[in-house]
């Protein structure tokens, strides 16, 4: 069960209540009521054990209302793919410009992402361009790193996962979120190298990390960047 609800919360008894988006989840594995803020969904998440009532979750929400609202206030606003918006590509900001008089779908020119066609198609065409660019960049990096190991992935696929940047399946298929295209090139390179290293070591053993660090020197910096800026990329679109 996953339900969404707006719950009025007060950060201070003397202040009016603020509407707070809350995702309610029930889990057979949960042992207690838990509360967290999901930076991607932009909502508080209350997880209830199988037999716990929603009243228990509301009580926890109200007890921590100030913290929840403070966390939500600090989130990066969601970015809509629209005319005039600025979207990063390779970590470099690019303004989206609707160009109905031109042809070619979507393309980069002088640091601007031009999107042709009717206005209602702009978000879809922009995302389609970003996906294609992500596949191109990821594919180049993956084949380069796999070549260094004398290996070859079965396939390279794009997904729209909101919790994982990449994965390597047992059949040697590499999967990545297309949102990596918005990260700096060296961050994308690290994620790709990480997953390619799994072609050699399907684990996170010392041997795996040795392979990973032989492919890329950016592990510490890239993981820190993703922890700090990754949630904002997940809120694009």
| Token pair for 38 | 């999901």
What b/e readout covers 88-112, taking b as 16+ CB neighbours within 10 angstroms? bbbeeebebebbeeeeeebeeeeee
Asked if the model's pLDDT at residue 163 lies above 90, the reply is: no
Give the dihedral sign, CA 115/119/124/127.
positive
Residues 150 and 50 in one domain: no
Query: Quick check: is 81 in a domain?
Result: no
Query: Quick check: is 80 in a domain?
Result: no
Q: pTM of the predicted model, to two decimals?
A: 0.81
pLDDT, tens digit (0-9, with 9 covering 90-100), for 50-73? 989 999 999 999 999 999 999 999
Provide the domain limits for residue 44: 2-73
Query: Quick check: is 92 in a domain?
Result: yes
Query: Cα–Cα distance between 113 and 132 in angstroms, integer?
Result: 14
Counting the structural domains of the chain, the total is 2
Residues 19 and 132 in one domain: no
Residues 100 and 137 in one domain: yes
* Count of all residues that appear for the chain in the document: 237
Q: What average pLDDT does the segment 219-224 reach? A: 97
Question: Phi, psi at residue 9, to the nearest 5°?
Answer: -125, 145
Domain at 171, CATH number: 3.30.2010.10
Asked if the model's pLDDT at residue 15 lies above 90, the reply is: no
- Residue 1 confidence (pLDDT): 62
SS3 of 117-157 = CCHHHHHHHHHHHHHHHHHHHHHHHHHHHHHHHCCCCCEEE
* Least reliable range by pLDDT among 152-166, 173-187, 193-207: 152-166
Is residue 157 classed as helix, strand or coil in its secondary structure?
Answer: strand
- Tell how many helices (H) and how many strands (E) occur in the chain: 6, 11
- Residue 12 confidence (pLDDT): 86
Q: Above pLDDT 90, what percent of the chain? A: 87
Query: Cα–Cα distance between 47 and 26 in angstroms, integer?
Result: 6
């Amino acid at each position: 069960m996953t339900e969404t609800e707006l719950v009025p919360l007060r950060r201070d008894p003397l202040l009016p209540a603020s509407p707070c988006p809350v995702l309610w989840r029930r889990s057979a594995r949960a042992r207690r009521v838990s509360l967290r803020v999901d930076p991607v969904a932009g909502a508080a998440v209350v997880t209830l054990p199988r037999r716990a009532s929603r009243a228990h979750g509301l009580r926890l929400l109200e007890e921590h209302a100030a913290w929840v609202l403070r966390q939500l206030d600090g989130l990066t606003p969601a970015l809509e793919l629209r005319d005039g918006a600025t979207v990063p590509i390779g970590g470099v900001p690019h303004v989206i410009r609707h160009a109905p008089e031109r042809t070619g779908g979507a393309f980069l020119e002088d640091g601007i992402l031009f999107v042709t066609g009717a206005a209602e198609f702009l978000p879809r065409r922009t995302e389609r361009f970003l996906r294609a660019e992500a596949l191109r960049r990821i594919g180049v990096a993956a084949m380069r790193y796999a070549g260094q190991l004398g290996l070859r992935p079965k396939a390279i696929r794009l997904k729209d996962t909101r919790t994982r940047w990449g994965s390597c399946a047992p059949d040697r298929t590499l999967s990545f979120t297309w949102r990596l295209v918005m990260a700096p090139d060296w961050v994308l390179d690290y994620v790709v190298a990480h997953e390619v290293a799994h072609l050699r070591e399907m684990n996170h053993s010392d041997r795996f990390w040795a392979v990973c660090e032989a492919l890329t020197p950016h592990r510490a910096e890239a993981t820190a960047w993703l922890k700090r800026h990754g949630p904002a990329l997940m809120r694009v679109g």
